[in-house]
Amino acid sequence: MTTNLPGFNRRALLLAAGAACAPAFVRHARAADVPRFALGIASGQPRADGMVLWTRLTGAALPERVAVRWEVADDERFTRVVARGEEIAESDGAHSVHAEPRGLKPDRWYWYRFSALGQRSDAGRTRTAPAADADASLDFAIASCQRWDDGHYAAWRDAAASGLDLVMFLGDYIYESAARPNRIRSHEGPLVRTLEQYRARYAQYKSDPALQTAHAACPWLLVWDDHEVDNDYAGLVGQSLQADFAAQRAAAYQAWWEHQPVAKAMRPVGPDLRVVGRLDWGRLARIHLLDDRQYRDPQACPRPDRAGSNTVRTADCAALADPKRSLLGPTQERWLAEGWDLERPWNLVAQQTLMARFSWRDPAVDPTYWTDGWDGYAPSRERLLRDVAARQVPGVVVLGGDVHTNYVADLKPDFDDEKAPVVASEFCGTSIASHGLAQERIDAALPFNPHIKYGRGDRRGYVRFRLDAKRLDAQLRVVEQPLDAGSAVETAARFVVEAGRPGPQPA
Ligand code: FE
Ligand code: CA
């Protein structure tokens, strides 16, 4: 069983996260006063016997190699330390630390912290996964798209305080765009292209106290989407068809690895980094982490002189029906098909974007699709969903982001057939901060897509879930005032999925 941590002092954690940022404004500080943990701490990739603990040292005049000590305790006061160790933070890894304690007990909450150069980080809380053969429940959130200059992160404060076991971050952690005028807050620097620029952009995002609080509250699983690298990129093709895109992707993936609580072994080799993976949560669920970006074919029928997304009529774009084109790539398609869990009641698929078909016009007359999402790779989607049906995979729930809209949908191999069986459920979460589409446009298209039960692009937030062996309970949490860091957050809608009965139902 998972339980909320009894000793967790939320207020202390919030205060600590806020305090970590404040000294950045102190001028002429002595070396000992330069904050070394100004980007906070994080944990991720929980296993039954451990997890990854992350931080990155900050401040001027850091030595090339710095010893960083870490400790894990049973209690908030660190009176019962159960694991400790030392990592070397090096300049060629941006002085990031990826510590991997092992030998911890399954299904348990822990506290962790770091120390280096005479300073100690704030403490975070994290947990292990339940043992593979143990009964379990899971409180988790999906989140995506936290564009810095579109709004504040009130959603993260709400998520951090809501007793989550796990956050699944589904892409667009940073945006690579240059600063724009007249924003609520501004990106620093130009359009991001180099390793130093990606590092600086992560440092800016990670300076946000609400985001730090969410990282310190529980472990995260992360996948990425396009903006961690370049808008609408596909494999080794950048949106502007830039000549040096492999080098850009290598820099972007390196910076992603440096700034996330992921294993040392995931450090990229050139432009390649494997984020695809699985995590079993007791006997309850298998979580499949997919990568929609690195292995995809380029988008079909782009606009002239560039790559990337377009919105096209199928009548004008024969490539949309080409069965050889894939969003996941053939290797990942096979990996997913062979790894469905037929024993556990739930298979959670953490990926980047809306999977349900979404036609912008009446599909009986003039089917019209956005090519960057699954609609741009419909045969690839049909293969996946037919496979789910053929193998009778239990409890498939597809989780996504990217489109800055809350969509709740039935997934079927054939969306044109209203009577086709529903084989899976989908929750595509809205953005933490990034602007969404005009609601009138979504409302105009929803009647063409009756398998989509809910579609709201005018609210920011995240989706909070409670999962047990019998049901999935989803709350669409939305921010009242996206420009206010202290905004209230409310539940816009609730849905449930009953085990053995695919398709979300209004609760
Ligand atoms: Fe986005
Ligand atoms: Ca995106």
19-23, 205-209, 243-247, 496-500: least confident range = 19-23
Q: Which residues surround ligand 2, an ion (CB under 5 A)?
A: 172, 225-226, 402
Distance 170 CA to ligand 1 centre (A): 10
pLDDT grade for 166, boundaries at 50, 70 and 90: very high
Number of other CB atoms surrounding residue 180 within 10 Å: 10
- Residue 15 or residue 443, greater confidence: 443
pLDDT grade for 25, boundaries at 50, 70 and 90: very low
Q: How distant, in Å, are the alpha carbons of 33, 172, 204, 242, 258 from that of 119?
A: 9, 32, 21, 43, 21
Look up residue 278 and give its two tokens: 């699985």
Beta bridge partners, 477, equal 462, 491
pLDDT higher than threshold 60 for residue 24: no
Distance 374 CA to ligand 2 centre (A): 12
Largest distance between two CA atoms of the chain = 70
pLDDT higher than threshold 80 for residue 131: yes
- % of residues, the chain, pLDDT over 70: 94
The predicted pLDDT at position 31 comes to 57
Average pLDDT over residues 396-417: 97
Q: Which residues surround ligand 1, an ion (CB under 5 A)?
A: 145, 172, 434
pLDDT higher than threshold 50 for residue 10: no
Q: Which amino acid is at 483?
A: L
Distance 353 CA to ligand 2 centre (A): 8
Distance 195 CA to ligand 2 centre (A): 20
| Helices 209-217, 195-206: inter-axial angle, 10-degree rounding | 80
The predicted pLDDT at position 4 comes to 37
The predicted pLDDT at position 418 comes to 82
Non-local (6+) Cβ contacts of 304 within 8 A are none
CA 328 – CA 293 distance, rounded (Å): 8
The predicted pLDDT at position 32 comes to 64
pLDDT grade for 33, boundaries at 50, 70 and 90: confident
pLDDT higher than threshold 80 for residue 486: yes
Q: Strand 138-143: give its sheet, edge to edge.
A: 96-99, 50-56, 41-47, 220-222, 166-169, 138-143, 461-467, 471-479, 489-498, 501-506
The predicted pLDDT at position 435 comes to 97
The predicted pLDDT at position 158 comes to 98
Average pLDDT over residues 489-499: 98
The predicted pLDDT at position 419 comes to 86
- % of residues, the chain, pLDDT over 90: 92
pLDDT higher than threshold 70 for residue 6: no
Distance 233 CA to ligand 1 centre (A): 13
- What is the residue whose two structure tokens read 């036609």? 359
Distance 284 CA to ligand 1 centre (A): 30
Task: Indicate which ligand has the atom closest to the C-alpha of 293.
Answer: 2
Task: Indicate which ligand has the atom closest to the C-alpha of 370.
Answer: 2
Distance 228 CA to ligand 1 centre (A): 10
Q: Which residue spans within 241-343 are E strands per DSSP?
A: 277-281, 285-289, 311-313
**HSE-up (13 A, CA, CB side) for residue 388:** 25
pLDDT higher than threshold 60 for residue 310: yes
Task: Indicate which ligand has the atom closest to the C-alpha of 145.
Answer: 1
Distance 226 CA to ligand 1 centre (A): 8
Distance 163 CA to ligand 1 centre (A): 26
Task: Indicate which ligand has the atom closest to the C-alpha of 434.
Answer: 1
Query: What is the sign, positive or negative, of the torsion defined by CA atoms of 286, 409, 370, 462?
Result: negative
Domains delineated in the chain: 2-506 (3.60.21.70)
pLDDT grade for 361, boundaries at 50, 70 and 90: very high
Nearest to 504 by CA among 453, 449, 450: 453
Phi, psi for 263 (deg, rounded to 5): -65, 150
Nearest to 17 by CA among 163, 157, 175, 174: 157
Task: Indicate which ligand has the atom closest to the C-alpha of 309.
Answer: 2
Task: Indicate which ligand has the atom closest to the C-alpha of 404.
Answer: 1
pLDDT grade for 123, boundaries at 50, 70 and 90: very high
Distance 104 CA to ligand 1 centre (A): 36
